[in-house]
Structure 1
């Protein structure tokens, strides 16, 4: 049984750790700790968010997939498969906002933002999820005038109200200008226009707009917001020999985009690809973030802050590192 996994992120490497004979293909030379991109922006040190891939990961760019003949066409040749797992992560949709906007999707984006910071004073961050909240705190501590703009009526809308309230309290104490229930209409030059006001900014960073990779739609696979639709066993609703994992997939219900869900889905997808019948369920054990030196978040649905939250964050990073190093 030849199982090919497209994408070497949390889902892809989880699949490889579960089934060591899988072939993982990724265009990068390194595993990216996406939740540490803010650390790269703070320091300019890319090693904080990257771990070199082991030789087991094939470095090549996926061009297309021939589903009929079961061939993955890559920049370095063709790879035959019996079962295919698509776990190519996410992309950001910058087309939702008219005007010039800086995305924050990968390591290069983080380094580009870092290089621009010496020349800017006023920064707008669109999106009040974990990435936007952490980035707002970091940039404010770096002396920038920060505007955090969230379309919903609270920050961290997928977390507990205690976490949401703590985030807005801490950011406000730092001097971050938080706008809730605010929609950005367009960016015209140095003016960011919202449904409520106009703000003068030097740089606008997108920390939202996450969707599945464009290749999902290009391949003609049924999807929602670019995320391949799968059944309860993570099998594509279109192809019997194709499975989805991580941010590249979703079910008819809601599946959050997170490292924990990616790890769980990668392991289940590869088990089902080799012939088992394991239904996909996910569990968010902990979601922890940092504003300045303050760690906080939800553990098993309960609000935590301080040393316990910091420990949970560090344990998560350690486990990710071990997942790569154990291959």
Structure 2
């Protein structure tokens, strides 16, 4: 039985680890540690977020899928499949146009670092993990940072302790944190909100994550461009197609994270191979770094300091080992 996996990120490589005979397709030459993009901006070293793929990953761009004929068309030819796992990651919704710099790729991080050489005032849209870490990094680079968050607290999906700690830490560093603030528009050099205008030389989107546009282009039933799957990660449109990682969700909702992607990649492959295992995810740890301080939620409890740093570094180690293992 031939299983094709579209996308070699956390979910794709986790799928491959369960079935070494599967074929993983990815257009990149490397595995991207997305949670280290802020570190690339800080250091200027792209290698800390890019781990070269092994020969098990076929470097090719997927052009389209013929679900009825069970054929994937790429820029290097066509491949048939018996089972298909789609793990195409995420994209950012840049509804405010080219005045906003996205941050989803290694090239984006390098571009932001270059633009920071000329920028003095930076606005970051989104107070999730990426926005919080990014605000700390850029403030330490000597810029004036304004962090805009629509919710009434930062890190709204994490514990209140983590939210409060992030707010206090960023404010102490000099970051202007605007909570409960809705972005209504963006113009060149200006963010328009329900609480007034923010002048900025560089505007960075750290929110608006959704599934890749190609999911909708392929005609798959989706929610915010994330393909809808059942409890077994099977597409609701095709019995021989599964979804894993950030590009999929269930009717109830599945969060976007590396841990969830790894878990879903494993379950999708096992079910594609014949098992009937319901997908149940568990967020073990969400750890951030602001300045020199590590903190976050570990096993449902707020942690900071050496324990948090150890958990963060262990997560990076596990990610690298995943790439090396396949």
TM-score bracket, shorter-length normalisation: over 0.9
CA contact (8 A) 1:128 1:156 kept: yes
2:67 and 2:199 map into 1 onto residues whose CA distance is 50
1:19 and 1:126 map into 2 onto residues whose CA distance is 40
1:264 and 1:98 map into 2 onto residues whose CA distance is 34
Tell me which residue corresponds to 2:91.
Answer: 91
CA contact (8 A) 1:98 1:185 kept: no
* 1:193 Cα deviation after fit: 1.1
Tell me which residue corresponds to 2:185.
Answer: 186
Tell me which residue corresponds to 2:221.
Answer: 222
CA contact (8 A) 1:63 1:74 kept: yes
Q: How many residues align?
A: 326
1:133 and 1:30 map into 2 onto residues whose CA distance is 26
Q: Which moved more, 1:238-247 or 1:181-190?
A: 181-190
* 1:190 Cα deviation after fit: 1.7
- TM-score, with structure 1 as normaliser: 0.99
Tell me which residue corresponds to 1:307.
Answer: 306
Tell me which residue corresponds to 1:78.
Answer: 78
Deviation string, structure 1 residues 33-89 (Cα, Å, up to 9, x no partner): 000000100111110100000000000111000111111001111111000000000
SS of aligned partner of 1:103: coil
Deviation string, structure 1 residues 101-133 (Cα, Å, up to 9, x no partner): 000011010000011111000000000000000
* 1:99 Cα deviation after fit: 6.0
CA contact (8 A) 1:149 1:178 kept: yes
SS of aligned partner of 1:198: strand
2:138 and 2:153 map into 1 onto residues whose CA distance is 20
C-alpha spacing 1:220/1:164, structure 2 compared with 1 (3 Å) = same
* 1:98 Cα deviation after fit: 5.4
Task: Report the aligned-residue RMSD.
Answer: 0.7
Pairs within 5 Å for 1:111-190: 111-190=110-189
Name stretches of at least 5 consecutive residues in structure 2 with no aligned partner. Answer: none
Tell me which residue corresponds to 1:102.
Answer: 101
* 1:4 Cα deviation after fit: 0.1
2:9 aligned with 1:9: yes
* 1:187 Cα deviation after fit: 1.8
* 1:185 Cα deviation after fit: 1.4
Deviation string, structure 1 residues 155-200 (Cα, Å, up to 9, x no partner): 0000000000000000000000000010111122222211101111
1:8 and 1:309 map into 2 onto residues whose CA distance is 28
Name stretches of at least 5 consecutive residues in structure 1 with no aligned partner. Answer: none
2:30 and 2:188 map into 1 onto residues whose CA distance is 36
Aligned structure 1 segments of 4 or more residues deviating by more than 2 angstroms = none
1:323 and 1:98 map into 2 onto residues whose CA distance is 36
Tell me which residue corresponds to 2:42.
Answer: 42
1:271 and 1:262 map into 2 onto residues whose CA distance is 14
